[in-house]
Amino acid sequence: MQIFDLRFNPKLKEERSFASFIYEPENIYEKKLGSLYTVGELKNGLPGSHKFLDQINAVIKKNYYKISFKSPEKALKECLKKTNSYLGEELKKDNVQWLGNLNFCALCVKDMGLNFTKTGELKVILIRGGQINDIGKGLDSQEIDPYPLRIFFNVVSGRLADNDIILALTKETFCFFESQNILTKIALCQEITSKKIKEIFPAELFSKGEGAKISGLCFLIIAKKKPSAGKIHLSNVIFEKTEVLFSLPKIKKISVFIQKIIKTISLWKGEILSFSYNIYKLPDKISKKAKTKLKKFNPVKEFKNLFSKKKLAGLSLKSFIQFIEKFRRKPDTKRGLIFVSLFFFLILAGSFVFKATNQIKEKSDKQAEINLKQIAEQELLKANKLEKIKAPEALFELKEEILGFKPEKFLLFDDNFYFYNPLSPNLYEYNLQNSSGVLSEAPKNITSASYLSGSLLFFSEPDTILSFEKNSWQENKIEAIDSGAELPLFFSYASNLYFFNDKCEIIKYHYLGNLKWGLPQKWVKNKTDSCQNHGTMAIDNSIWILNENNISRYYGGYLQETVNFSIYPKGENIIKIETKSALPYFYFLDPPNNRLIILEKTGAIFKQFQSEKFNDLNDFIISDDGKTIWLLNGFTIYRIEM
């Protein structure tokens, strides 16, 4: 293997740490598992946080090269369990700075077999025969489990070919490489050498312009079937052995009073055994007076009297010893019965104490689990920039008796809000300035709505376009496409109409003028590029389709890119995506979690807003500048100012 470890402006951002480690097998047992390479990045760290990456590497190496493992895949999977446990222990120590900021991958290479895992935003790229493949893509959608904590999940396995190139890159580096076509330059190289690396990465590339703002790492491995003349290591390998310390829950001590009693009784254990023996071996002949006393003697009554609440309240070690001395002077039989009763009482008291102690321990363990889960969840929410709003601003509230329907969708046009429901032909217009509304009735039920310059457009299934301008309606027909699919989602862009049907097809109607449109056309050119799940769609100068864990961008009828994202908590049922060409964000509505999600168009989380008041979310609108968001929640309209 030939290795290049490239660092770009590593000291540019003090809050960011990088680390890469190269472990080559040293003995016959380690050689069975091959080489181990790790790459890590810690964002928003504190001074000295680079040591945390060293500790993770130490845990991985320690658990990877174990004699008991016979395959690299099993060894790496076991590493994930141990590493997750280690990170869980770090949470118990209140080390939470890394949550949401850790990007890490581990790669194992043995006889051209590759196994790797990753977490966070690191990219793992395979270049083979000039083709660039994101082989870590399948691991991008994994979410952190807060308890029991799981940061690392699955392992990807495969076979390498001769001269394959594997790259592990930090996100910032990857984005810059894409913008400069550096990955393409690497893919076109017939052979990667130190000289070629200097040509691809000239010094001025990262000292001027946008490159000077980049701080990141690129770890490059070239697979060789035959051993190469030498391995190139451009960074120092730092190995630091770390032991993971586990702290047991604190157990409350037994009360001092009980300890003193046990200690005192232990001094008299000979007496207790002796008197117990005397009771067991009563003489055959005893006096009538003794028999009378024995008949009158009630050990249960004596026991209750001895340990009455009144006596126990003032019991001290000194009085207890005096009590023992008093009964030592009584006849053997009675004294023995008293001590036996006392002996059994102490057994019962001891069992009660230890039972109570175990209950305290179990309660403590359970509370520790709850506390750990809460800490993990709080840090994950913080890392995912979730803001909880206790009292969101209610702009105004609609009256059901006036509308005659429950609004499910709304639009904003010329400072007026328009509300409608797909099951009703009614349209309610509400003016913000005078706080009054007007109810209009469309010719047909309104399925969905959009904008056309100077007016509003509404679609009524299966083939009717309704325009609404100056309180008047105009009805136009379009030719329905013969696909057997419904057209529930309707958008207008540059006066053309776009429908996203339940077969995951995008249908375009070209605008002819005078509120007339041409014949329907399937807009996506390549059928294999169609979305796999019917989600929702947004339009700026491209068409964006929301899938389960990513967003697909189409332009000119072709798939251009896929933006992956990971949100915590995971979106259960995102019903709408919105964006604007002038804004660098996506906006999602997630009603089951009472929240609005804002992502950057790179897939990074920008902000999340959540409130208990958002308990019936149906729709939202964004202002042109993106600074104001209106939410339709039941009959109430809330406003969020950014």
At 46-78, the pLDDT tens digits run 666 678 888 888 888 888 887 667 788 888 888
Locate the domains of the chain by residue range.
Answer: 2-222, 256-357
pLDDT at 282 over 50: no
pLDDT at 234 over 50: no
| DSSP classification of residue 142 | -
Catalogue the E-assigned strands of 260-318. none
Instruction: Count CB neighbours of 610 within 10 A.
Output: 19
Q: Are strands 113-119 and 102-110 parallel, antiparallel or unpaired?
A: antiparallel
- Buried residues in 469-492 as b, exposed as e (16+ CB within 10 A): eeeebeeeebeebeeebebbbbbb
Confidence of residue 557 (pLDDT cuts 50, 70, 90): confident
| Region of poorest pLDDT, from 260-264, 478-482, 599-603 | 260-264
Nearest-angstrom CA–CA distance, 42 and 46 = 10
pLDDT at 268 over 60: no
Confidence of residue 121 (pLDDT cuts 50, 70, 90): confident
- Average pLDDT for 127-156: 70
40 neighbors 29 (Cβ within 8 angstroms): no
- Average pLDDT for 176-201: 86
Q: Is 583 helix (H, G, I), strand (E, B) or coil?
A: coil
Confidence of residue 550 (pLDDT cuts 50, 70, 90): confident
Report pLDDT for 500.
83
Q: Which residues pair with 8 in a beta bridge?
A: 216
Superfamily covering domain 2-222: PPM-type phosphatase domain (3.60.40.10)
